[in-house]
A = this chain, B = another copy of it.
Amino acid sequence: MATGRTHRPATRSRGIPEATVARLPLYLRALTALSERSVPTVSSEELAAAAGVNSAKLRKDFSYLGSYGTRGVGYDVEYLVYQISRELGLTQDWPVVIVGIGNLGAALANYGGFASRGFRVAALIDADPAMAGKPVAGIPVQHTDELEKIIKDNGVSIGVIATPAGAAQQVSERLIAAGVTSILNFAPTVLSVPEGVDVRKVDLSIELQILAFHEQRKAGEEAAGAGADVSPPPLRGGAATNRKGPDGDVPAVMPA
């Protein structure tokens, strides 16, 4: 999971729980697949299986949107696709800008899932003057100087930050000042933003660390009693040898 929202203590926006909102795209994807195969209706049980969730949860989620199902039959696929899309705001076009066209930024620009879901890459922005004009995914990269103008000219309200960690906060401030109110942040930093601005964070390194935790736990359970686990090495203080990470991020290599 991208690691989550920032600020706002789970505001139930217009009666729809945040957890439900997070699942709607999942349902939408499953429904669109069914729609392609021209399946007319689907039961909560089937759809839940396709989306990888509990069927009761799915029904409750849909109940927040209204009563769109037919008892004894299921849900009309096309109708549900439309309703969810409308609820998510995908019936309109969302111009987005991607700031920071490194490896990741380029990958994002090329990512098909953007354009196909109502999101249009309005511009690619990078601080490196050498990048300016160079086309990535068919779109010419523009220099950071143009940022404010681009945002305003295109009416962009969603920005994607794929810069090094060091630049992220400043970029976010410029985006917000220019009118952006939603940010998808790939840089490994905590952005501090004013009230009213939504930030979602995707942090690859954090995801791996969480996996490592579970992995270690599994390994520890199997070989329960192989020492070196329960006994805490009592070293206190002691200089950690720290090397600076490549992308302005900081490594966490341990002394022992």
User: A interface vs B, CB < 8 Å?
Assistant: 1-6, 13-14, 21-22, 24-26, 28-30, 32-33, 35-36, 50-52, 76, 78-79, 81-83, 85-92, 94, 96, 102-104, 106-108, 110-119, 157-158, 181-184, 188, 190, 192, 196, 198, 200-218, 232, 235-240, 242-247, 249-256
Contact = CB atoms under 8 A, between A and B. Distances in A.
10 contacts: A1-B203, A25-B203, A28-B252, A29-B188, A88-B209, A89-B217, A158-B208, A184-B211, A200-B211, A202-B204
Given A116-B246, A117-B252, A182 B200 contact: no
B236 A79 contact: yes
Nearest to A189: B29
B103 A29 contact: no
Given A14-B217, A89-B212, 7 more contacts: A13-B217, A78-B238, A81-B240, A82-B256, A112-B247, A158-B211, A181-B218
Contacts of A202: 1-2, 202, 204, 207
Count of chain copies: 2
Contact of A26 (B87, B96, B200, B206): B206
A112 B103 CA distance: 11
A25 B196 CA distance: 26
A214 B13 contact: yes
Contact of A111 (B83, B158, B204): B204
Nearest to A13: B217
A30 to B, nearest CB: 8
A89 B216 contact: yes
Nearest to A113: B205
A52 to B, nearest CB: 4
A234 to B, nearest CB: 10
A126 to B, nearest CB: 15
